[in-house]
Amino acid sequence: MSTTPTSTDRTKPAKRLTPPDIAAHKGQTPLVCLTAYSAPMARLLDGHVDVLLVGDSLGMVVYGADSTLAVRLDTMIDHGRAVAGASRHACVVVDLPFASYQESPQQAFRNAARVLAETGAAAVKLEGGSEMAETIAFLAARGVPVMGHVGLTPQAVNALGGFRARGRDAAEADKVLADARAVSDAGAFALVIEGTLEDVAREATRAVTIPTIGIGAAADCDGQILVTEDLLGLSGPRVPRFVKRYADLGSAVEEAAARYATEVRSRAFPGPDQLYRKRSG
C-alpha cells in the first residue's frame, strides 16, 4: 500500500531551503528569519522560519558580554553544529565573528570553509560594505554562499561610537546605499540591513538585486530578522527600539524557578512520581 508523504513524514529528509531558494525570494513574500544558538530552540523555530541565523549576538545574549567582539570562531562552530543538526527545513546561516575574516579574502575563505564543513550550515554572514566586496566575491566564487550585513554593524561598535542607527545624514545614507550595492554586486545571496533609517533601507531594497532582511530597517525589506531571545522576553529589560516582544518567557522562567524553590524547601518535591520505589504488593 502506498502512502502519501506529508509534512510530518520523517522517513524522508525534508527539502531544506538553500541559499538560492532564499535569493529567489527577492520581491516575493517576506522572508521570516530568526536567530538560534541551541538545538532545542532550533527545533522549536525550524517549522516557522525560512532562515535560522546563528548570530554572533550570542556573545551578548548567551555569554553576557557587552559587545560581540570577543566571540571566537570555535564558539560559532559549536553553536552552528547544534542548530544545523536540530533543524531540517530552514536555511542555516552562521555569523563569521570579529577578526575571523577582515584580514584577507584568504583568511575569510579558510574560516568560512571550516564553518561549512564542521557545522552543516549552508552559508556564512559577514559584516561590511564596499571594503568587503572583494572578500564576498572570493568566497562566492569558491562555493561559500555569503549573506551580507550593512548599516549598524555591531562588530564596528568602537569605530561607530556605539550601537546607534545609521543613515541619519546624507553622507551616512549614501554610504549605506553604496555598501548595499557593493555587497549585492559582489555576489552575496542576501543582505541584512540593521539599524538604518527607514527611507534609506527602503531605497537600498529597491537598489539591490538580492533580498534585504531588515532589523530596525523597514517593513519594505524583503524579510525581517530579530534576536529570538528579544522577542521572547528572555534577554533583559533593555532591548533595542526595533524589538517587539511576542512573549514574556522571562516571567515564566522566574515563576517556575520560584515554585520549584518553594517545593524543594517544603519537601513537596520530589514526590512519589519522581522517585524510584520498589513495586508494592
Ligand X SMILES: Nc1nc(=O)c2c([nH]1)NC[C@@H]1CN(c3ccc(C(=O)N[C@@H](CCC(=O)O)C(=O)O)cc3)CN21
What is the set of active-site residues? Answer: 194
Amino acid found at 33: C
Q: How far apart are the first and last CA of the chain?
A: 47
- Which residue has 533609517 as its cell numbers? 197
Judged by CB under 6 A, which of 241, 267, 278, 279 binds ligand X?
A: 241
- Exposed, middle or buried by CB within 10 Å (0-12, 13-18, 19+), for 146? buried
Shortest gap between Cβ of 171 and ligand KIV (angstroms)?
A: 24
3-class state of residue 68 by DSSP:
coil
Question: Cis peptide before 270, with omega less than 30 degrees from 0?
Answer: yes
Examine residue 68 and tell whether it contacts ligand X (CB under 6 A). Answer: yes
Examine residue 240 and tell whether it contacts ligand X (CB under 6 A). Answer: yes
- Contact window for Mg ion (CB under 5 A) among 39-47, 55-63, 132-140, 214-222: 55-63
Examine residue 229 and tell whether it contacts Mg ion (CB under 5 A). Answer: no
Where on the chain is the footprint of ligand KIV (CB under 6 A)? Answer: 35, 53, 55-57, 95, 149, 192, 194, 215, 225, 227
The Cα–Cα gap between 275 and 166 comes to: 57
Shortest gap between Cβ of 229 and ligand X (angstroms)?
A: 6
User: What are the Cα distances from residue 170, in Å, to 131, 174, 182, 195, 199?
Assistant: 20, 6, 18, 16, 12
Select from ligand KIV, Mg ion, ligand X, none the partner in contact with residue 222, using the beta carbon and a kind-dependent cut-off of 5 to 8 Å: none
Which of the 8 DSSP states describes residue 146?
Answer: E
User: What are the Cα distances from residue 146, in Å, to 64, 89, 186, 192, 265?
Assistant: 27, 19, 10, 11, 52
Shortest gap between Cβ of 237 and Mg ion (angstroms)?
A: 22
Shortest gap between Cβ of 55 and ligand X (angstroms)?
A: 7
Judged by CB under 6 A, which of 48, 164, 168, 259 binds ligand X?
A: 164
Q: How many residues bind ligand X, per CB under 6 A?
A: 15
Select from ligand KIV, ligand X, Mg ion, none the partner in contact with residue 187, using the beta carbon and a kind-dependent cut-off of 5 to 8 Å: none
Q: Please name which of 124, 51, 125, 58 lies closest in space to residue 87, comparing C-alpha atoms.
A: 51
Examine residue 60 and tell whether it contacts ligand X (CB under 6 A). Answer: yes
- Contact window for Mg ion (CB under 5 A) among 95-103, 108-116, 232-240, 255-263: 95-103
Using Cβ positions, the residue closest to ligand KIV within the complex turns out to be 55
- Cell triple for residue 5? 508523504
Binding residues for Mg ion, rule: CB under 5 A, are 55-56, 95
Q: What is the contact surface with ligand X in residues (CB under 6 A)?
A: 57, 60-61, 68, 154, 162-165, 195, 227, 230, 235, 240-241
